[in-house]
Amino acid sequence: MADETLDASGLNCPLPILKTKKALSKMDAGKILDVISTDVGSIKDIEAFCNQTGNKLISTEEDGGKYVFTIERV
Amino acid sequence: MPDADNNKMTIIATKGSFDWAFPPFIIASTGVAMSKEVTIFFTFYGINLLLKDTSKLRVSPMGNPNMPMKMPFGPKWLQKIDFGPKIPNILWNIPFADTLVTYLMKKTMARQGVAKLEDLRSMCQEFDVKFIACEMTVGLFGYDKEDFIDGVEFAGAATYFEEAASGNHHLYM
């Protein structure tokens, strides 16, 4: 179960990444953030973001054009 | 001399039209999200991107023959038509063509959830992206320092080099 949820639906690149970065920076290490996005580019970009920043991408789920990324804050 | 540091990036922003205002702010803000420290050096037309009032920035279809031009509203079949290649470029040499095309581009961006220019710029500032405006250009174009947003540093090319010396990722836009 996520500690925080960020709804970035309807937003285009790079907003989902920028908002994810902002949301994570307000959270403590070990907390879980769910990011909801409708931007198909987020699939690769959230993964790249996590690889680069060390945050852990726990799962990616798709549900009818909505993507839910579960990220653990490091 | 400082050691090269993987986390520093610089951008030289040279263009001041509405469309070209986006890439420097998008790359800079994303750079910070990707753990970079970012400096943008704005020179020549690029300094327009730091004005308090960016409402006068325009995109021009003149001399821009590959610009896709689709209607942001209307029936689906109409929205699919790309008017860009259909309209002879010289016809754009009419009054208010830039105003019209800029208006349509803003509509399209809003519909697609693209961030507003001012929002991207303030996001960069919130992320501590350093903005340096070329002092020489400010004088050359007859601007006052009061015309620009707060938080802008005014300096010259040598300052850019000092910023760039400690990074290894440098873009010219």
Residue B115: closest CA among chain A residues belongs to which residue? A15
* Residue B33 falls inside a structural domain: yes
Prediction ipTM score: 0.90
Q: Looking at the 3D structure of chain B, how many domains does it have?
A: 1
Distance, in Å, from the CA atom of A14 to the CA atom of A63, rounded to the nearest integer, reads: 21
Give residues with Cβ within 8 angstroms of B96, minimum separation 6: none
* Residue A48 exposed, middle or buried by CB count within 10 Å (0-12, 13-18, 19+): middle
Q: What residues of chain B lie within 8 A of the CB of A21, using their CB?
A: 32-33, 127
pLDDT score of B127:
96
Position B9 confidence tier, pLDDT thresholds 50, 70, 90: very high
How far A42 CA sits from the closest chain B CA (Å)? 13
* Residue B108 falls inside a structural domain: no
| Stronger pLDDT, A66 or B86, i.e. the higher one | A66
| Three-class secondary structure of residue B100 per DSSP | helix
B110 and A CB contact within 8 Å: no
Per-residue model confidence as pLDDT tens digits over B91-141:
888 888 899 999 999 999 999 999 999 999 999 999 999 999 999 999 999
Residue B2 has pLDDT above 90, yes or no: no
* Residue B97 falls inside a structural domain: no
Helix (H) or strand (E) holding B144: none
- Active site residue ranges of A: 13
Helical segments of A4-61, H only = 15-25, 42-53
Spell out, as residue ranges, where chain A has pLDDT lower than 70. none
* Residue-number span of the structural domain to which B154 is assigned: 8-56+116-172
* Residue B76 falls inside a structural domain: no
Residues composing chain A: 74
Closest C-alpha among B113, B138, B111 to residue B50? B138
Inter-chain CB pairs, A–B, below 8 Å: 35
- CB spacing of B113 vs A17 below 8 angstroms: no
Which CATH number does the domain housing residue B12 bear? 3.40.1260.10
* Residue B103 exposed, middle or buried by CB count within 10 Å (0-12, 13-18, 19+): middle
Written as six digits, the tokens of B133 are 């405006």
Closest partner residue to B115 (CB to CB) among A15, A21, A52 is A15
pTM of the model: 0.90
- Domains in chain A: ranges and CATH: 4-72 (3.30.110.40)
